[in-house]
């Protein structure tokens, strides 16, 4: 087990962590201030600390879990690319950040600190943590949009922060390689980081009074008597019961449970959507620190380490779960002095029980896990979570073995297209007619490639590949080549069998996920708007216009025709369409020649439509 100091393990200096904690607690005690800024004149850092809020409406925007889709105009990266799922976030916390951004000098001060090349740290205690998290992502998004070569590495350090977003939220941050910027400190029994795993309906009676314990302007601030009431015990028990449901369901999922009851449960029991992300540092309460990065393992620890310990009564544990929320500064100071840090990044080094002859290092690890109250069952769940991550890597290795096979298949189809062009026929039309043996062979290769890509897409749909797979340059490029070369004959196959008559237009009902996913990868990595690189679907639009020509007048179709012609000009200029599109026997040319003569004579693509593609090299520029 690797043993390093805390700062070395999480990537941020110990003194900055301690400073961030101190300022975060100062902000907590100054709720009237939007944020505190620590930026001494000669220092290398700028620390932004956000205050929390203690109204229930600032924790739950509505009943249930208070969740809503993220604001993609502010956070465009927070989505699953291929699955096209928008991240879910706590609406109340998002609203608080949007207010801070709109009404405070945050944007100005951050820009100034970036210009001065300061090490930027966002921090917050309690509900100030989510605001710090969103400020960090906002800065990372801003830097991405500037397309700057200059590296910017903001850090976000939270203390006792509640959860913020769902699985897609964390997936997107890991995919963008941003997750390591976030470090979350959690005391063993602190209930606040777990509070959003329970629906508001289950805790709405006790929550207002509980929150006032942490409100520095309240008469109940730090009042121990509230923590020892029956209401506090009920509150604690309710939250833990809900954590149990979420953690158990998650464990069944990553352990590969196939019991249909697993899915049935979620149809009548609403589980919290929120999940951990980033690096978690669990404080045992006696100076030791346990670091965990695997989000599934973190969720299990959040549940198992609040179980009643030996000799602890429910009332005592409930009181401790509230008291510890205000002890981060004291605990962190002791931990930084001790530097007794255990990193659980390696599943094989998580001891299920201590064997005779164990090394001193393994004894230390076992002792730290005992201090967190992690039972054998808890450790098995942690190991299973790590194994699930390993399985993702094995899946990636399997997929990587397809890479050369896919390249070979694309080379064969590329050769097919070249052969068709020699015979003055486009490969779309040749494939659709299916007269030659080479057409049949190409169809077999299309089916073979589809099988490999469908397996990849299914793994992505179930999140069974590493989070960064969809932005791996080599796969984005291969997927783009596949989509541009093979989708035209996919469309030809669709209309050759008249599938549009039974299912509807290809683009609406017939387009396979393998092409949609690949297109979204390309658009994401090049920061393009959705559905803006659709040249591979050109033939689908042509086929639909062909079928509509006999039923509708030109005036009814004119707008679509003009739009397609403008797109054709753009795609030819960018090299996305080839000269075979303009051969005399092309489906496109035959259809276009049926349009009114007056329209054709003034068309922006008239020069290209000689039936031979001879004007192809001398393209007019798009206006």
CA gap 604, 621 in Å, rounded: 10
In degrees, rounded to 5, the angle at the alpha carbon of residue 581 between the alpha carbons of residues 578 and 587 is 165
Give the position of tokens 């340059």.
473
CA gap 429, 420 in Å, rounded: 9
- Exposure string of 90-128, with b = 16+ CB inside 10 Å and e = fewer, is bbbbbebbeebbeeeebeebbeebbeeebbbbbbbbbbb
The encoded tokens of residue 496 equal: 């050759």
pLDDT of residue 125: 97
Backbone angles phi, psi at 49, to 5 degrees: -115, 130
In CATH, the architecture of 6-395 is 3-Layer(aba) Sandwich (3.40)
CA gap 537, 506 in Å, rounded: 9
pLDDT of residue 146: 62
Q: Which residues are catalytic?
A: 126, 190, 325
Q: Is the pTM of this model over 0.85?
A: yes
619 dihedral zone (left: phi>0; alpha: psi -120 to 50; beta)? beta
Closest by alpha carbon to 277, among 187, 184, 152, 367? 184
pLDDT of residue 619: 43
- Exposure string of 305-337, with b = 16+ CB inside 10 Å and e = fewer, is bbeeeeeeeeeebbbbbbbbbbbbbebbeebbe
Query: Mean pLDDT per 10-residue run, the chain (623 residues)?
Result: 78 95 96 92 93 94 92 95 96 96 95 92 97 97 68 90 98 96 97 97 94 89 78 94 93 75 67 97 94 96 86 84 94 92 77 74 85 92 92 97 98 96 94 95 97 97 96 97 97 95 92 96 90 86 91 92 94 90 93 94 89 56 34
Q: CA torsion, points 509, 524, 445, 510, in degrees to nearest 10?
A: 0
The encoded tokens of residue 195 equal: 């509070």
pLDDT of residue 192: 97
pLDDT of residue 621: 37
> Domain residue spans in the chain?
6-395, 401-515
In degrees, rounded to 5, the angle at the alpha carbon of residue 63 between the alpha carbons of residues 57 and 69 is 85
DSSP characters for 227-239? HTSHHHHHHHHHH
Closest by alpha carbon to 10, among 326, 334, 300, 342? 342
Sheet holding 288-292, edge to edge: 35-38, 45-50, 119-125, 155-159, 182-187, 279-283, 288-292, 340-343
The encoded tokens of residue 303 equal: 């549940």
* DSSP 8-state class, residue 418: H
pLDDT of residue 620: 42
């Amino acid at each position: 087990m690797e043993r390093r100091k805390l700062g070395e393990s999480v990537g941020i200096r110990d003194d900055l962590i301690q400073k961030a904690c101190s300022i975060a607690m100062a902000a907590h005690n100054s709720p009237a201030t939007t944020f505190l800024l620590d930026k001494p004149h000669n220092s290398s850092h700028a620390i932004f600390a956000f205050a929390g809020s203690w109204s229930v409406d600032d924790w739950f925007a509505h009943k249930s879990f208070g969740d809503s889709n993220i604001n993609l105009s502010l956070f465009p990266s927070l989505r699953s690319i291929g699955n096209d799922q928008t991240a879910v976030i706590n609406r109340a916390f998002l609203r608080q950040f949007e207010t801070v951004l709109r009404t405070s000098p945050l944007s100005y001060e951050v820009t100034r600190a970036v210009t001065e090349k300061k090490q930027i740290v966002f921090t917050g205690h309690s509900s100030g943590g989510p605001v710090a998290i969103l400020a960090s992502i906002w800065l990372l998004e801003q830097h991405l949009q500037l397309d700057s070569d200059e590296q910017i590495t903001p850090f976000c350090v939270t203390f006792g922060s509640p959860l913020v977003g769902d699985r897609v939220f964390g997936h997107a941050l890991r995919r963008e390689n941003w997750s390591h910027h976030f470090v979350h400190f959690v005391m063993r029994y602190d209930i606040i980081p777990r509070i959003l795993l329970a629906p508001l309906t289950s805790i709405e009676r006790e929550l207002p009074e509980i929150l006032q314990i942490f409100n520095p302007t309240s008469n109940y601030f730090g009042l121990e008597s509230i923590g020892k009431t029956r209401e506090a015990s009920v509150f604690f028990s309710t939250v833990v019961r809900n954590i149990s449901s979420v953690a158990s369901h998650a464990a069944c999922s990553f352990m590969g449970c196939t019991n249909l009851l697993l899915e049935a449960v979620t149809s009548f029991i609403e589980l919290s959507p929120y999940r951990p992300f980033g690096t978690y540092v669990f404080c045992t309460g006696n100076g030791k620190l346990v670091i965990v990065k695997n989000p599934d393992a973190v969720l299990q620890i959040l549940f198992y380490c609040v179980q009643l310990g030996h000799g602890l009564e429910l009332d005592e544990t409930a009181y401790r779960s509230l008291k510890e929320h205000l002890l981060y500064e004291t605990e962190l100071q002791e931990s930084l002095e001790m530097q007794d840090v255990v990193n659980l990044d390696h599943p094989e080094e998580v001891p299920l029980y201590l064997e005779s002859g164990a090394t001193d290092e393994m004894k230390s690890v076992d002792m730290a896990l005992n201090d967190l109250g992690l039972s054998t069952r808890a450790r098995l769940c942690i190991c299973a979570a790590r194994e699930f991550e390993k399985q993702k890597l094995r899946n990636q290795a399997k997929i990587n073995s397809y890479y050369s096979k896919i390249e070979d298949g694309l080379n064969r189809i590329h050769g097919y297209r070249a052969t068709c062009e020699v015979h003055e026929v486009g490969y779309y039309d040749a494939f659709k007619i299916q007269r030659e043996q080479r057409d049949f062979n190409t169809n077999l290769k299309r089916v073979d490639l589809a099988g490999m890509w469908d397996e990849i897409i299914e793994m992505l749909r179930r999140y069974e590949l590493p989070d960064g797979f969809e932005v791996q340059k080599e796969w984005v490029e291969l997927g783009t080549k596949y989509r541009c070369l093979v989708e035209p004959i996919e469309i030809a196959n669709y209309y050759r069998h008249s599938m549009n008559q039974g299912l509807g237009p290809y683009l609406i009902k017939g387009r396979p996920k393998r092409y949609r996913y690949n297109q979204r990868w390309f658009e994401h990595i090049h920061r393009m708007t959705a559905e803006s690189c659709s040249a591979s679907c050109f033939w689908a639009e042509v086929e639909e216009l062909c079928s509509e020509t006999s039923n509708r007048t030109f005036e009814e179709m004119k707008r679509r025709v003009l739009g397609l012609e403008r797109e054709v000009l753009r795609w030819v200029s960018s090299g996305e369409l080839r000269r075979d599109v303009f051969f005399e026997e092309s489906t496109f040319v035959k259809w276009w020649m049926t349009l009114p003569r007056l329209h054709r004579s003034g068309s922006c693509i008239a020069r290209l439509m000689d039936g031979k593609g001879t004007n192809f090299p001398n393209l007019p520029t798009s206006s």
